[in-house]
Chain A
Amino acid sequence: MMYFSRLKTAVILGACLLGLLLCIPNLFASPAAWLPWRTVHLGLDLRGGSYLLMEVDMKAVVRERLDSLMDGVRQALRPGSIFYQALEAQPDQNRVLLRLRDPAQADAAMAALRPLVTADGPTGARDLDLASTPDGTITLTLSQVALTARANGAVQQSIEIVRRRIDETGVVDPQIAQQGSTRLVVQLPGIEDPNRIKELLGKTAHMTFRLVDEAANPASGGPPPPGDDYLVMQDNPTQKIAVRKRVDVDGADLTDARAGSNPTTGEWVVNFTFNTVGGRRFSDITRANVNHRFAIVLDDKVISAPVIREPITGGRGQISGSFTAASANDLAVLLRAGALPAPLTVIEERSIGPELGADSIRAGAISLVFGFGLVIVFMAIFYGLFGWFANICVLVNLMLMLAVMSLLQATLTLPGMAGILLTLGMAVDANILINERIREEQKNGRPPLAALEHGFTRAYSTIFDSNATAFLAHVMLFVFGSGPVRGFAVTITVGIATSLFTAWMLTRLLVSRWYTANRPKLLPV
């Protein structure tokens, strides 16, 4: 127990030295790009910033899927002259329901609909459950597997779009990640007031170009004619306009959008460019509908509905509609970044100003200094020399914790700083257990070396058991916790691991060195 080979001594001291080395990046900025410069991240509660937890509107995702499924049903049943009375989507039950006019055609209908069912993903699970009843009712229900896959896809796609939109605003180092199956976390360091970002993310920005139905009159009241929607004008919510349901060109076909100003009128506009497919469709539509009105619809609101004066063939166009410089620019950003697959809702927001973060850092630092001071004085008074060994271990432990956290690029939060102080208590505890045990062994009449041997051996089994339970509790906290509390769990679990190392290796090495140098008759414990 008390013998350390040169190699072992070198390894232990090397580990401590490596720890010191790994701490250095936290003190200076990286001098060269090629150096591995890993540091502890300050949590948003310390550096200031915004945390937004957003949820993808799964209802919208399901509704959209059911809509396209209904289209599929119509197309599948048309060639076989299978007639049905009612075809409706029931989003609450994730299904499409149709009633056949002639129940005898049920088998034929089922056969025609079967190709709509596709195997999904590596499990080969089907994405649709097809069922029929004797009275000729057929249901197509989305399976759970398909819903989960769709939610995942929607979140992944949203992350991409959200990243593009945020990048446009110039926020430094934003972090966007999936959480659970339908959520994403957006962290914006240094952003105190996330309003602009929330506004940008609050729009799906799904743009469509559709023809206006000039025969219909929304002012007459009553439901819109089949194939039409009554949509409100963006700048005048009381005015409605009848727009065809059919989407002629989709915003997804845009390749670029920029804010600019109209040279003749001086008003703000958004200039856009289509890709080849979009450009061709746009020119076809405009050629066939000269002197008709064409609506530009964003998220079910009509931005403008100009009359087509001549065919637009260059694949370029312009949107005008009482923009300001800021709103034209925002729209351009949204169109460039692309549409979100479904609306996002902010369900949790935490914003902290840098002022408060600085206050927290100061308070945390003062507590750390006082806490360490008190413990060091306590150990020196109550354990003398062995107390100083413990104090050295505690300081090395602090350094190693910082090193491991830098290596993991972990996040330090205010509760995390509290965690550091508590780990200090645990590191000291290991040394107290060792000291008490050695003292007891000596009291029971063992000579110094044997007392050390037995003391360390016995103390370690206790140290291990007592730390294992604390370790388990904090791993649970990490798994189920969120935000700053996770930072706390991280510091404590890292701290338990490093304190086991310092107690197991460093204390023993220090004591062993001291013993061989002095060979005391009685241990001063």
Chain B
Amino acid sequence: MFIKPRFRLVREGTTIQFMRGRFLGLLTSAVLSTASVVLFFYPGLNLGIDFSGGVVMQVRTEGPANFNQIRAALAAEHIQEQGVQRFGDPNDVLIRLGAQASEAGTQQAVEHVRAALEKSVPGTRILRTDAVGASVSAELFRNGLLALGISLLMILVYIWFRFEWQFAVGAVVTLILDITKAIGFLALMRIEFDLVMVAAILTVLGYSTNDKVVVYDRVRENLRKYKTMPLRALIDLSINETLNRTLGTSMTVFLASLPLALFGGESISGFAWVMLFGIVVGTSSSIFIAAPILLLLGEHRLRRDATPAPTAKAKATPPS
């Protein structure tokens, strides 16, 4: 009973002409990415304290939290908070302070909040304190960007060496479009952008590249196999051939991330939502962006560059 597969995601011999929709795909992507860039500037990213500096304290009160009481307690001590809000559980409160003028000021601010809570809201326990000074936050931001930039560069170089340059450019342009959309998603959903989000974006990047490489790999193989097939038909064929795998992997990664988004708790669910979004974007961009770019760049060139077929079994037409 466990021997035969029960279902297939895509039926045998599916021949969807994806490249017909290439302009629609590119256009949609361009619109979404432009909208994301706009969102990036207005309203902008909700920078977490990793990157903005400041203090975040998570406290647990006895019984449901009384936000006004906490706000009043802080105001009484002249502490300028940037937000007192519920954090998941009704007993849990997140207190946020902006970046302080100096490193010592950041440390003092933590002390003041602690003292104010002890005095005015007894029974409160501090579960978590994050205090990041200005110099560190600037550095973390720079390192985050560096990690992203160098990863992109390495992917570019790797694909360039393993494939042709058209593949590398196609992949990296698509990845940049994917990243802009992920950032737009962060800005739109007001998800806090912190180090964990950089990790999420890098993971989406890795996953999305992985997906593109699988499609490209098949295109490269088919280029050797079918020497005379037009590139457009060849790309369509390659996408159809790998469609089951593309969707299968996307679904498993999606299913693996879903519990994280639902049960992972406040601190990790943002990460998981970005992953879920990235999986959808990354999968569709392999088909609708990376492949059309390859078609545009390689229309006349890839044929000439292709090395002679290594196998004698090359057929002139695709199997039906």
Residues of A within 8 A of B (CB): 53, 55, 192-193, 195, 198, 345-353, 355-356, 359-360, 363-364, 366-372, 374-375, 378-388, 414-415, 417-418, 421-422, 424-426, 428-429, 432-433, 436, 440, 443-444, 458, 461-462, 465-470, 472-474, 476-477, 479-485, 488-489, 492, 524-525
Contacts and interface: CB of A to CB of B under 8 A. Distances in A.
Contact of B256 (A355, A359, A425, A432): A425
Given A379-B252, A383-B5, A480-B144, A467 B136 contact: no
A444 to B, nearest CB: 6
A476 B148 CA distance: 8
A364 B125 CA distance: 23
Contacts of B107: 198, 346, 349
B155 A367 contact: no
A182 to B, nearest CB: 11
B233 to A, nearest CB: 18
Contacts of A466: 209-211, 213-214, 217
A525 B6 CA distance: 10
A385 B262 CA distance: 30
Contacts of A386: 5
Nearest to B59: A353
B31 interface: no
Please give me the 10 A-B residue pairs with the lowest Cβ-Cβ distance, nearest first: A470-B206, A425-B253, A370-B259, A363-B265, A480-B147, A347-B133, A374-B255, A466-B210, A384-B5, A356-B127
B217 A462 contact: yes
Interface of B: 2-9, 12, 58, 60, 103-104, 106-107, 110-111, 125-133, 135-136, 140, 143-144, 146-147, 150-151, 154-155, 158-159, 162, 195-196, 198-199, 202-203, 205-207, 209-211, 213-214, 217-218, 221, 241-242, 244-245, 248-249, 251-253, 255-260, 262-265, 267-268, 271-272, 275, 319
Contact of A370 (B8, B206, B263): B263
Contacts of B251: 378
B18 to A, nearest CB: 18
A205 B142 CA distance: 35
Given A353-B125, A433-B214, A485-B199, A364 B268 contact: yes
A88 to B, nearest CB: 27
B213 A465 contact: yes
Contacts of A374: 255-256, 258-259
B2 A469 contact: no
B5 A483 contact: no
Contact of A470 (B106, B207, B271): B207
Given A352-B128, A469-B155, A481-B143, A360 B267 contact: yes
Given A345-B103, A469-B210, A473-B209, A381 B140 contact: no
Contacts of B127: 352-353, 355-356
B1 to A, nearest CB: 9
Contacts of B130: 349-351
A363 B267 CA distance: 10
Contacts of A198: 107
A388 B3 CA distance: 9
16 contacts: A347-B136, A356-B128, A359-B265, A381-B5, A384-B5, A388-B2, A418-B268, A424-B252, A425-B252, A428-B249, A462-B213, A469-B155, A469-B159, A477-B147, A477-B198, A524-B3
B103 A384 contact: no
A489 B199 contact: yes
